[in-house]
Homo-oligomer: A and B are copies of this chain.
């Protein structure tokens, strides 16, 4: 366990921090659908992080990271991240609202839609080549000369802790309404949401005497987390291919041990299942949600032997879609 997490092993301290963060976040609603429940033979509670500020759960992680930065004696000149998606957008948004400068390193060929979103959120874009080493080096070089600090999307303790607040809110709200969750499901890509959720649920279970299980859904075409989880060491994606573009990333050395300790299972789903899941969620819940949201939902459909008659919270991770260029269900 990274020393950062130790104070938060106490539920009161964790709750205090999440309560503090809630000042900067939307308390997102939890939606249900009778028709989905009857099809799945289970009770599903969808935590709608597509309604979160900046349109994704990523705002939770960056809010906690920036909260930590602002407590420092020597505040950094700015924050930087390489991201072609929601993390960059969330970081730019949170930085702007805290009067911090923000640079997002994006591949030259990233979509105009995503670049526009980062600029609209108040970030500055620095372009790099479309490969991971160019991304990393561009960030490193910039940090050396600028006094900026990197906020990693998934492998940074403060970010991981922040992401756990979605599950905490979900469990708190269900508890208030006497809904006894058996499972919480999340998608897994870089592992930040997975580790944060696992951590938060394990603290909740200890305090409340519950035994809520955490499962992740992962695309077959980017299955590094699945292989890592079952081999016990970090495995890599050679050429990740999946429609869930936010889940092509890989686990990191900080989140992996937490995932190993606090997640119960990872299920693989195909791109067809992901697209069908996205379409079903959109049609039934009337929500704009990304392909990245589907894997845990698709896993519930795929594994009735595990999920039948269960009470399942699912975190819908985000809703930032280029609708003009989106094909639903195919």
Contacts and interface: CB of A to CB of B under 8 A. Distances in A.
Interface of A: 29, 31, 48, 50-51, 55, 279, 282-283, 286-289, 319, 323-324, 326, 328-330
Contacts of A282: 288, 323
A205 B31 CA distance: 33
Given A55-B286, A282-B288, A288-B287, A324 B328 contact: yes
Contact of A323 (B279, B319, B324): B279
A187 to B, nearest CB: 17
Nearest to A330: B324
Given A50-B286, A286-B55, A288-B288, A324 B319 contact: no
Report how many copies the assembly holds.
2
B324 A286 contact: no
Contacts of A329: 323-324
A279 B288 CA distance: 11
Contacts of A287: 286-288
Given A286-B288, A287-B288, 15 more contacts: A29-B29, A31-B51, A48-B286, A51-B286, A55-B286, A279-B324, A282-B288, A283-B288, A286-B289, A287-B287, A288-B288, A323-B329, A324-B328, A324-B330, A326-B328
A145 B279 CA distance: 41
Nearest to A55: B286
A307 to B, nearest CB: 23
Nearest to A51: B286
Nearest to A327: B324
